[in-house]
Chain A
């Protein structure tokens, strides 16, 4: 048993000629809350499905909770709670019946948690699933995953259809009942604010490869946005620079560390430093993933984590 909840090396999944996952190296530590971010079509859902056996990998290695996805899939499924992107369950059954169906699969199932969460999230347990609103359907999917006694939770787009109150409650439940117990949460979401709130690791995927995998503390502590003005547009190449935005005489440099040194270098090249700001996760994501701002770091496509 190593200390990684999810570990992939060179994972590849292609559909005919399209390569959705092209050599993915993912390392999710146990007990972490890992925010998995990426644009639509970057390969997030394909990765999640491959880890859970819904898709067969074309090549590469992947382990979940120490079990190989090719050999020990059942062990993985028993210990992993999964909330899929498509929140559809059996339409003719009520949530209470779906719970009854589901509980037989999991020895660590807890009916007390079912009662508690059903009450907390205000889930109508006796209404047929097909008649529920999208928000209630999402809640039922979460209920099934949360009461399973899982060591790893994989949540794909968890907040779809949930109102802010329920989202807040969900985050609270995740922190209190899962993260505080040392369980791992793997969160794939477009809601960067939520991810920024509870994640301590973040991984950004683009075109089937990891662009960035680092602790969120590193982003908060070391990543800086340097706003500078000047006539010249100096050619800068640095391993720490991950994005540049230019307009007229103003430039914004997103650096991963040693912002002061970088600023000093800019000053030496004749630019005036306006300010050095901390960056939000959204800015890092946009800086890396937006098309018109290509990554110009010394090692394009891969940025090592500063642990």
Chain B
């Protein structure tokens, strides 16, 4: 699959080069595609690397990124998002540690197998802060717990078939 892709790439590059008068190449198109998936808000106070991690996971969960899809290199993604490469590197490192993505020794980052093989207790531990936030907010808004459960179930259904 990767070899086919690699051989097609020069053709695609040339096509895009001619079509867009040399202002666009394949990496740019891919970056536009990927950066549409990732939207970083640097003034929210929420760490950027966590935003990147969360959004990559979200993209995978929603099916926009499939197994073995290539992710842009640290440098390219940092350039496109206008953030420090160290931030992107940290996000990729964490994602790799969690088994969400994998890096190939020759270079290139790909979406990994989608079952991290964690213990259920570990999965629960990871989700607890999110759950706590949901609990706090719904208490503030005085939403009944039955409604909260239904809300979560609706969201899970919305992602559909990817669990």
Contact = CB atoms under 8 A, between A and B. Distances in A.
Direct contact of A and B (CB under 8 A): yes
Interface of A: 33, 168, 171-172, 175-176, 179-180, 193, 196-200, 216-217, 220-221, 277-280, 282-283
B72 interface: no
B46 A198 contact: no
B84 A198 contact: yes
Contact of A280 (B45, B84, B86, B87): B45
Given A175-B78, A198-B82, A220 B47 contact: yes
A172 B44 contact: no
Interface in B19-65: 42-49
A33 B84 CA distance: 8
Given A196-B42, A220-B47, A278-B47, A176 B75 contact: yes
Contacts of A172: 79-80, 82
Interface in B64-112: 75, 78-80, 82-87, 90
A168 B42 CA distance: 13
A184 B81 CA distance: 19
Contacts of B84: 33, 175, 179, 197-200, 216
Report, nearest first, the 8 A-B pairs whose CB atoms are least far apart: A278-B45, A220-B47, A176-B79, A171-B82, A180-B75, A197-B42, A280-B45, A200-B84
Contacts of B48: 220
Q: Which of A200, A216, A220, A278 has the most chain B CB atoms closer than 10 A to its own CB?
A: A220
Interface residues of B, number: 19
B85 A279 contact: no
Q: Which of A168, A171, A179 has the most chain B CB atoms closer than 10 A to its own CB?
A: A179
Given A193-B43, A220-B45, A221-B47, A168 B78 contact: no
Contact of B85 (A175, A220, A278, A280): A175
B19 to A, nearest CB: 19
A175 B82 contact: yes
Contacts of A278: 44-47
16 contacts: A168-B82, A175-B79, A179-B84, A180-B75, A180-B85, A197-B84, A198-B84, A199-B84, A200-B87, A217-B47, A220-B46, A221-B47, A277-B45, A278-B45, A280-B43, A282-B43
B45 A193 contact: no
Contacts of B43: 193, 196, 280, 282
A216 B78 CA distance: 16
Contacts of B78: 175-176, 179-180
Given A193-B43, A196-B43, A277-B45, A179 B85 contact: yes
A175 B80 CA distance: 9
Contacts of A220: 45-48
Q: Which of B42, B46, B48 has the most chain A CB atoms closer than 10 A to its own CB?
A: B42
A180 B75 CA distance: 6
Given A278-B46, A280-B45, 12 more contacts: A176-B78, A179-B78, A179-B85, A197-B42, A199-B84, A200-B86, A216-B84, A217-B47, A217-B90, A220-B45, A278-B45, A280-B44
B111 to A, nearest CB: 23
A171 B82 CA distance: 6
Nearest to A280: B45
A200 to B, nearest CB: 5
Q: Which of B47, B84, B85, B87 has the most chain A CB atoms closer than 10 A to its own CB?
A: B84
A48 to B, nearest CB: 21
Contacts of A193: 42-43
Contacts of A282: 43
Contacts of A179: 78, 84-85
A193 B79 CA distance: 17
Nearest to B84: A200
A286 B86 CA distance: 26
A279 B45 contact: yes
B32 to A, nearest CB: 13
A175 B87 CA distance: 12
B133 to A, nearest CB: 11
Contacts of B86: 200
B74 to A, nearest CB: 8
B52 to A, nearest CB: 12
Nearest to B50: A220
A278 B41 CA distance: 13
